[in-house]
Amino acid sequence: MQTNIQRIDQANRLKKRRTTWLAWLMLLPSMIILAVFTLYPIGESVYMSLFKNNMSTFVTGPVWVGLQNYVNLFTRDAVFKKAFYNNLIIAAVTIPSSVTLAVAMALFTNKVGRGKSFVRVAYFYPALLPMVAVANIWLFIYTPMYGLLGYIAPTWRLLENVDTVQWALIIMLVWKQAGYVMIFYISGLQGIDQEMYEAAKIDGANSVQAFWHVTWPMLKPTTIYVMIITMTNAYKMVDHLYIMTKGGPDNASNMLLFYVYQKAFDQSNVGVASAVTVVLIVILLLATVVQFYTQDKRTFYA
Amino acid sequence: MKKVTCSVKKKKIGFPKFNSSRNQWTLGTVIILFFLLVYFVLVIYPLIWMILSSLKTEREFFRNIWGFPAEFQWENYSKAWSMGISDYFLNSVFVTACTIATTISIAVLAAFGLVLYDFKGKNLILLLGMGGMMFSAQVALIPLYRVIQNLRIHDTYWAMILPYTAFRMSISLLLIRSYFLSIPREMYESGVIDGCSSLGILYHIYLPMSKPILLTVSILIAYYSWNEFLFSIIFIDSRALKTIPSGLMVFRDALNTDYALLFAGLTISALPMVLLFILMQKQFIRGLSSGAVKG
């Protein structure tokens, strides 16, 4: 008996070793590609941010400066501060407004009987357009005199005004991403059991109550996922800036990622650019951790 | 479910009470519907404007910015197409197709390994996958530029295909994995009994069952690689290799003020994705709700 069990045990262990080996082999390609193109660049950014590496160190090679780049960023660099603050505003405004609009649109398109798919496409198409197309269309909407908005109010120069340029970009970003977010909510709504609404109705809930006590809590996982998407969207705004404002006027629309681009490729200041990159990564990391952490407590289905 | 019904009863919330009869057309919904209709017009208008503008002459574009063109200038499209859009378009098709192929094949293998086998470090890999999702591609720009140069793929199609694959890997992997999890394990066991190898089981049993999620993931990948701008502008120098987003920049700069032609080019470049979504939206949404977002 004893020996038999041992034998089976041994065979199982052998088999397990083989399958483990096989599993790792299957995972290998994805691990390699993730390591080379995401993990390594992030590590390298952290490392490079500790060096002074710009035009002045071209001959000597990068010089170790420790955390000096970060200290400079947060104490002296006025453009960085502005970009940091601008990004914060963009995120704080676009995330809630995109989510609200998207939920409303998802509920609305679900109510539409005929022409549902047309309405969906109409809301969603801005997300499908290439950035260059979107940026050019909005450039025209905002152009004074000739532009569409310029037709209504010829004196408005939204993109050239320090006070308005941020808002012009915010409107464009919400316009572009709300429909994309809506798709996730539509699929989230499909996952809600209709019986829950019937139960709520029996308990005398009206449609507003049903929304707040059934729909919205059930959509929490979608909301968390969507918040990560909209957050990264807000922080990776760069294509539009490149085409529409170049961060101007007077850096009023500069954002962190565009600043990285300016530092690295226009000014060849790799050290500072890397430091800004690391700051960006930390922000996104923190946001994701917070969102994942709060997920468990707020949702009530596994 | 009990929990929900209870909380509805107990809590009294401070919202105005609407007529809760079966008729849902209360004041609140009418206001919301009206707002959504206005938003609908706002959203759709730029598209109509773009298409109308692309059919005008250069003069008309400035003179008559709101109205219909006197005569539809369809030749704007053929002109834009022959002025370079065709190259960018075909490059985009090629890069997108390659990215879909590499991402799907690698992600499917990894998802299969994660779902079927238990081994040490599995959770670590899942975490890594999740982490990869939020690292938006553009963030690690400078080191990535060096990686591309060290691999000697700068200014080749690979300089786009490989990073796109890497940055779509996490989401594809997670979506396919959660779909595989919903396939009963008996399917695997029956395959083993029939003498199938692991790869055989993947190919003959799992893949055919996973068509909806593979379609959804493909659309997500296509959407990303068709529109990606920053990498294609930084990693690619030769005009002959440029994809639609970076090519349109060249196109725009070459045109000077012929905006009607520019908008014809923009419309062409937007067309494939819009068509894809119109044709696939049902499958796409179903795939998302079956695999996505459940964690």
Q: Kindly report, residue by residue over B230-285, the tens digit of the pLDDT.
A: 888 889 988 889 998 888 888 888 877 788 888 898 899 888 888 888 888 888 88
CB contact under 8 A, B293 and A265: no
Is the pLDDT confidence value at A122 over 80?
A: yes
CB contact under 8 A, B15 and A260: no
Q: What is the predicted pLDDT for the residue at B11?
A: 38
Chain B residue whose CA is closest to A227: B134
Q: What is the predicted pLDDT for the residue at A95?
A: 94
Q: Kindly report, residue by residue over B135-171, the tens digit of the pLDDT.
A: 666 667 788 888 899 999 999 999 999 999 988 888 8
Chain A residue whose CA is closest to B229: A239
- C-beta separation of B155 from B241 below 8 A: yes
What's the CA gap between A260 and A280, in Å, rounded?
10
Q: Kindly report, residue by residue over B179-224, the tens digit of the pLDDT.
A: 888 888 888 888 888 888 888 888 888 999 888 889 989 988 998 8
**Which residues in chain A are closer than 8 Å to B109, comparing Cβ atoms?**
26-27, 29-30
Q: How many CB pairs under 8 A join A and B?
A: 288
Mean pLDDT of A207-211: 85
Q: What is the predicted pLDDT for the residue at A295?
A: 58
ipTM of the complex: 0.78
Predicted confidence band of residue B16 (pLDDT cuts 50, 70, 90): very low
Q: What are B98's two structure tokens?
A: 């390659």
Is the pLDDT confidence value at B2 over 50?
A: no
Among A136, A187, A204, the residue with its CB nearest the CB of B285 is: A187
